[in-house]
Chains A and B, each alone.
Chain A
Amino acid sequence: MSNNTIYLPKNLSEALKILNNSKEKVLPLAGGTTLLLNPTEKFSYIELDGLNLDYIKSDKNNLSIGAMTTIGQLAAWPQSARYWNGLIRECTLTIASTPNRNMITAGGNIVGLRPWSALAGVLLLLDGKIITARGKNYTAKEFFSKLPKTILGKNIVTKIRIPLNDKDLIGKWKKFSLTETDYPILSMGILYKLKNKNTIENIKIVATGLTILPQRFIKTERMLKNKQLTDNIIKLLTKSLQNEAVIGADIRVAAEYKREILGAIFKDILP
């Protein structure tokens, strides 16, 4: 059992001060689900619960999700089933299970990239911005270019901001796994706009579960722009996905298998 020191700051600036001044290794405590999984780790923690960082607000232009909003709250928020054709609700329900969704936070999900970090993929799709306590903000692309912990440094993510200008675009998220509540063998997400029934005007494609970092398939996206979805195009884009994908080790299946099925999962979510 852990004997970690816990700091209980009264506000965000106090939290930052502790983070800066502490000589020992200190981490912000978000959902806490991974903390007790590794009880021998010798960190100290700064409790973020109680700092009013759990909220979901949307105005005309932006959706703001406080970093301590739980995945469960996000899934239950009415607009999550509406914006982007329900992309957020679809994605959040692939994360863990009901009790854990009540603890895993939006911030935790994107900072400590775990096998269940689907939200990172969604932020790449939606061009989300990661807002931090120090004022330095990151685009999703920047934030997930390396391990977010290394990018963040001694800082705290306070909220995620997602532009709402394209909330009528169609989003889809699909997890492929052994059982329904399993970590993904791989997940894919797309956000697209159709020109007419069968032609893609533009599309964004993301995958998680291939490596620690979420991946975007920019070359394949370009290939699909303004294209009609014929059988031939689908064959070509499957190859393109397979070429673009970076796939790491997984004790459950071989990398070749993941590469093989990329196209199949993509077909599941295509219009």
Chain B
Amino acid sequence: MFLICVNLWLKKMEKNNFQQVGKSKIKVDGQALVTGQPVFVGDFIIPGMLWAKVLWSPHSHARIKNIDASEAEKLPGVKAVLTYKDVPRIPFTTAGQGAPEPSPYDSFILDNKVRYLGDRVAAVAAETEEIANEALKQIKVDYEILEPILDPKNSRKKNAPVIHDEKEAHMPLPLAYEPKKNICAHIDIKIGDAEKTLKESDYVIEHEYDIHYAQHTPIETHISTAYFDVHGRMVIITSTQVPFHVRRIVARSLNIPVQKIRVIKPRIGGGFGVKQEVLIEPLVAALAMKTNQAVCLKYTRSEEFISSRCRHPQVINLKTGVQKDGTFSAIDIGILQNNGAYGSHSLTILCNTGSKILPLFKCKNIIFDGDVVYTNLPVCGAYRGYGATEGYFAMGIQLDEMAEKIGVDIVEWSKKIHISVGETSPVFAALGEGVEGVEQNISSCGLDKCIELGAKEINWYQKRRKTQTGRYRRGVGMVIMMQGSSIPEIDMGAAFMKMNEDGSFNLLLGATDLGTGSDTIMSQIAAEVLGTATEKMLVYSSDTDLTPFDVGAYASSTTYLSGQAVLKTAQKIKEQIKKVAAEMLKEPVENLTVHEGKVFGKKGKATFSEIANYSLYTKHQHQIMAGESHITHKSPPPFSAHFGEVEVDTLTGKVRVIKYVAAVDCGTAINPKSAEGQTEGAVINGISYALCERYIFNKKGKMLNPNFNYYKIFSTMDLPELKTILVPTYEPTGPFGAKSVSEIGINGPCPVIANAIYDAVGVRLYKAPFTPDKVLEAIKKNGNHR
């Protein structure tokens, strides 16, 4: 197995002459990480810190009739036991989104009802974890067991038990919310006339697709520590993707002013969306306030599986029309989305299933309709791909079938049906993330090149539709995709810079590096603007006291949104530097150029260090500093084409991915190795999800495999040959032409593998994951084979 990266932008770079951007700079936090420095939440040990443990519900649906913590409180070493009686009854959403959040306010820090097996009942803070665990056993709970809903198809039935029957649950925005019917979100849009067009289409294909529960499995589980500083102000160090949302939501849930809270994100051990959630911070804060001591809550691995967040399972009914001449005529898509017991990210994921798929195609007749329902199952939240993963599973497979129906090669047909530069789609305006979307024209698209290079790399025409006999059969499949870059008109990021004596700069930004390398990329952007070295940047990020606001790391926005804030800030700094230099060199500003960490005039030059010293100490003393905010006005999609070759064992159903090619257009790759790394990580996660990750539930709604022993993710031994191809384009609205790259890669593997399986053994799978027993069952049912 080896990786080849085709660096086509070398030519582009020469043209643009970037010095810092477009280089695979070593991560600014790299040295700390490879030497095991204490930079994660668990490494901050505060003297006298207490350990928190949570009592989890053993029932899928129950009311707490009575809860008695008195015995637990008596245990030596126990400092606090909290039940619903001890916390404010203020509803909020745990979804880390901008306020007002488009997710229902249906969560409390602790409640008198439990809604899934693994829901929160009570919490203990004690001197050791052992004592805390002992205390949990002493809490006496009287449950009134209620009938659970364990299948989303039952949620909306008449007389179904109402999961959120509390009066406080509400939607903070005027959006559809019907908890009495167990519906936590709804969307329906119509564009053109799909009903009529379907009737007039030469071919109509309809299937139901079923995509499953999964967990992000960051190697570092959820962990938060709350303590009080010397002024008695609460500081929360937490493993989060959304520090500013944490501050706001903790303040709301405990009814304390935002001013009283500081949130710090240090290094975190992976997020992938599961930490775009204000999950445990309100509880940890409540325990800290009760005890007046530092408290740390660290999820065990099984708690991470059951009681954090998961990917949203969806049942998608997809009906598409296609003409003999290849026109993609109509789409009618109906979605039933399972949110689990609480509604975080319900509407936005549902919308994304449409908004990141439908605009890709030149199809103007669309019905998009979906309900998100509550069930008494583990709660779903943001997960890389964010609805697009589910959507491409359905659409990617259906496109393959449509191409077959009209007798064309899917690779050739894909080139004809996708949106291109200068074009728009009515879906952009109709579907955003929750509220209406934003109209936009495509201003950069390298998808054709992605398709061409990917097909070549996998050897598409030599491998496709090969007649085979024998036990092991091989096939190839592909899919085209788009995602987005940021949430336009809604999300905001800001940065601040100041200059030091030696020509170094402090760069303070709210943007959240969850291991993606955003601190490094921001440094590269700032350095490129200023004509200095990346190594001259001192980045500090994600501290609600010391860094300006940023919504956080989600919606593929860090490079495109926060990067532009950094770029604008650096530009302002550059102007100030030139102004000082002009005074020093006694030359007009127009004569000056800035590069190599110096300012050059027609008659003389000055180094950044000389300029900084002058500005701080010599004359007209002032601090060279600037801050800028940015919101985006469009969400330019990265585009990608994925190709995969599989081998199917027709006797066991085992599917092995032999080779996988991911060709992606992310505009300019600010840090190429970083962009490749994001793609590779997303792809392997996606393949693992397609083939072997799943939640196994028993009849009572208990998840039976909350551990790595039985929830399998890929190790080095499972790797296919993986090639990443970065196809450069230039997005004029992005910093140095950049778009996003971190999510799109995870959406490819499910449809690619399904299509490759069809190519290999002539069997279509509409339900994921493709475990060997399911594949074998399908092979036997469908007789086999082309």
| Chain B binds chain A | yes
* Inter-chain contact B705/A179, CB cutoff 8 Å: no
Q: Mark A245-262, 1 if CB is under 8 A from B, else 0.
A: 000000111100100110
Q: How far is the CA of A254 from the CA of B771 in the complex (A)?
A: 12
**How many angstroms between the C-alpha atoms of A119 and B129 in the bound complex?**
37
The residues in A between 72 and 93 inclusive whose CB is less than 8 angstroms from any CB of B are none
A251-B651 contact given A179-B714, A182-B712, CB 8 Å threshold? no
With a cutoff of 8 Å between Cβ atoms, the chain B residues found around residue A261 in the complex are 651-653, 772, 776
Is B696 within 8 A of A252, CB to CB? Answer: yes
Chain A residues with CB under 8 A of B652: 176, 261, 264-265
Within 8 A of B (CB), among A145-181: 176, 178-181
Nearest Cβ on chain A to B105's Cβ, whole angstroms: 37
Q: Which residues of chain A are near B649, meaning CB under 8 Å?
A: 264
From B471, B696, B710, name the one whose CB has the most chain A CB atoms within 10 angstroms.
B710
A136-152 CB mask vs B (1 if < 8 Å, else 0) is 00000000000000000
Within 8 A of A (CB), among B717-741: 717-718
Q: Determine the chain B residues whose CB is within 8 A of the CB of A265 once the complex forms.
A: 652
Asked if B536 is an interface residue, CB under 8 A from chain A, the answer is: no
Contacts of A257 in B (CB 8 A): 772-773, 776
4 closest pairs, A vs B, by CB?
Answer: A180-B717, A264-B651, A257-B773, A178-B692
Q: Does B709 touch A at the CB level, under 8 Å?
A: yes
Q: Which residue of B is nearest A183, CB measured? A: B709
Verify if B715 is at the interface (C-beta below 8 Å from A): yes
> Per-position contact with A for B304-343: 1 when CB-CB < 8 Å, else 0?
0000000000000000000000000000000000000000
Chain B residue contacts of A254, Cβ below 8 A: 773
Instruction: Indicate with 1 or 0, residue by residue over B677-716, a CB within 8 angstroms of chain A CB atoms.
Output: 0000000000010011000100000001100011011110
Cα distance, A55 to B129, chains bound together (Å): 40
Residues A267 and B692 in contact, CB atoms below 8 Å apart = no
Within 8 A of B (CB), among A219-271: 251-254, 257, 260-261, 263-265, 267
Q: How far is the CB of B444 from chain A (nearest CB, A)?
A: 38
- What separation, in Å, do the CA atoms of A181 and B718 have in the docked complex? 9
- B479-504 contacts to A, CB under 8 A, are none
A234 to chain B, nearest CB (A): 11
Contact of B717 among A179, A252, A253 (CB under 8 A): A179
Tell me if B130 is interfacial: C-beta within 8 Å of chain A. Answer: yes
Which residues of B are found within 8 Å of A182, using beta-carbon distances?
A: 712
Docked complex Cα distance between A181 and B708 (Å): 11
User: How many angstroms between the C-alpha atoms of A176 and B692 in the bound complex?
Assistant: 13
A260 to B713, CA, bound (A): 25
- Chain A: residues with Cβ within 8 Å of the partner, total of 21
Answer whether residue B654 sits at the interface, using C-beta atoms and an 8 A cutoff. Answer: yes
Q: Which residues of A contact B (CB under 8 A)?
A: 1, 97, 176, 178-183, 185, 251-254, 257, 260-261, 263-265, 267
Which B residues have a C-beta under 8 Å from some C-beta of A?
129-130, 471, 649, 651-654, 688, 691-692, 696, 704-705, 709-710, 712-715, 717-718, 771-773, 776
Report yes or no: A1 in contact with B130, Cβ–Cβ below 8 A: yes
B523 to chain A, nearest CB (A): 36
- Nearest residue (CB) in A for B696 is A251
Using A264-B652, A265-B652 as known contacts, say yes or no to A251 and B776 having CB atoms under 8 A apart: no
Known: A251-B705, A252-B696, A254-B773. A181 touches B715 (CB 8 A): yes
Q: A134 vs B619: C-alpha distance in the bound complex, in angstroms?
A: 92
Nearest-neighbour CB distance to chain B for A176, whole angstroms, equals 7
Cα distance A105–B241 in the bound complex, in angstroms? 42
Q: Which A residue sits closest to B719, measured CB to CB?
A: A180
Contact of A253 with B712 at beta-carbon distance under 8 Å, contacts A178-B692, A264-B649 already known: no
Could you write out 20 A-B pairs with CB less than 8 Å apart?
A1-B130, A97-B715, A176-B652, A178-B712, A178-B771, A179-B688, A179-B692, A179-B717, A179-B718, A180-B718, A181-B717, A183-B709, A251-B696, A251-B704, A251-B705, A252-B696, A257-B776, A261-B776, A263-B651, A264-B471
Q: Which residue of B lies closest to A116 (CB)?
A: B709
A251 contact set on B, CB distance < 8 A: 696, 704-705, 710
Cβ of A267: which chain B residues have Cβ within 8 Å of it?
A: 471, 651
Contact A253 B773, CB 8 Å, known A179-B718, A183-B709: yes
Complex CA gap A252/B693 in Å reads: 11
Q: Is the CB of B715 within 8 A of A176?
A: no
Shortest Cβ distance from A115 into B: residue: B709
> Considering only CB atoms, which chain B residue lies closest to A182 in the complex?
B712
